[in-house]
Amino acid sequence: MAVCALVSKISQVSGRLCSKALCPANTAVRALSCTGSRSQLHRVKGAGVLTGQVDRFGGVTVNLADAGLPADISEGAFSRLLQDSLVQWKSEGKAAVWLRIPISLSRCAAASSTHGFTFHHAKHDHSVLALWLGEGKSRLPGFATHQVGVAGAVVDESTGKVLVVQDRNKTKNAWKFPGGLSEPGENIGATAIREVFEETGVRSEFRSLLSVRQQHNHPGAFGMSDMYVICRLGPLTYDINFCTQECLSCKWLDLADLATTGDTTPITARIARLLLYGLEQGFDKIDLTMEELPAVYSGMYYQLYHRQLPPTLKP
């Protein structure tokens, strides 16, 4: 019986030793803690640190949706994993870390904040947090600072009339050019054409850029500044079928009347006078034309707006 008891005691000790051997300090177990996080540990890809894409500026972007984290990972477990990852990134000389956090793992944002991360921006189903690891003051760029509004001045050159609307959501029912906010990835000419059609039912084509207005502390812009671009468009159709949800009225109005009426906005009156000058002296005097040029990135193009060059200066 004594021998059996001794064997049992040795087995218990051996079991404890084997259990400790499964938790060395240099494994991901330490990052997620040895008490209560082992199941989470074994479901995390990698060896205890987060991995991500390194950009040309020396920053690393980690998308937690693709990091293999368990859906039920705790704030504490993620915090320890992030701490170990930061140690490695700093040793590698990384300049910054960007964390893309899906809304389902929002608790990881709270954990990240304890390590100095701050919100950079949020879109739809995720937020992006950032941390500067380089020397001195952070050189990370801010998120979007401006919203871009685009209006289309559709001019009928044969009659001297321009298409105008009265917005339903304005405090003053002034005549103005139809327009709205440009969507991500949408060129300003395309925005003008789309907004004109959505508000008035008139189809048009892009002719030129007329003006750019910059305004700060714009109401309803969520603290961003506002860029308001007005394009000159040519009509392809003339029948009006305006959107009653956005507009109170819509009509073709003489440019001379729009330039002098008190029932409009200062910028609309100014552009009306500019268009009158273009009708009289030629639109080449007022137009900023657009040309597509190849970007330095292969296969991509950008749009450049400027006054037309004399033929002798064109390539």
* DSSP string covering 48-82: SS---EE-TTSEEEEEGGGTT--TT--HHHHHHHH
Q: Which residue, 132, 164, 180, sits at the end of a domain?
A: 132
- Asked if residue 292 and residue 157 are part of one domain, the reply reads yes
Count of domains for the chain:
2
Q: Which residue, 78, 104, 132, sits at the end of a domain?
A: 132
Identity of residue 306: H
- Asked if residue 203 and residue 78 are part of one domain, the reply reads no
The encoded tokens of residue 169 equal 């959501």
Residue 33 lies in a domain: no
As a whole number of angstroms, the distance between CA 245 and CA 225 comes to 26
As a whole number of angstroms, the distance between CA 172 and CA 195 comes to 20
Q: What is the CATH number of the domain that holds 110?
A: 3.40.630.30
Question: For each of the chain's 315 residues, which pLDDT tens digit applies?
Answer: 444 454 444 445 444 444 433 333 333 333 333 334 444 444 444 448 999 999 989 999 999 999 999 999 999 999 999 999 999 999 999 999 999 999 999 999 999 999 999 999 999 999 999 999 999 999 999 998 899 999 999 999 999 999 999 998 766 779 999 999 999 999 999 999 999 999 999 999 999 999 999 999 887 788 889 999 999 999 999 999 999 999 999 999 999 999 999 999 999 999 999 999 999 999 999 999 999 999 887 688 899 999 988 877 766
Q: Per DSSP, what are the bridge partners of residue 97?
A: 60, 131
Q: What's the pLDDT at 199?
A: 97
Q: Which residue, 82, 98, 132, sits at the end of a domain?
A: 132
The encoded tokens of residue 151 equal 């209006």
- Asked if residue 172 and residue 105 are part of one domain, the reply reads no
The encoded tokens of residue 171 equal 């405090």
Residue 314 lies in a domain: no
- Asked if residue 194 and residue 88 are part of one domain, the reply reads no
- Asked if residue 173 and residue 272 are part of one domain, the reply reads yes
Residue 281: which residues within 8 A CB-CB, separation 6 or more? none
Question: Domain range holding 210?
Answer: 146-305
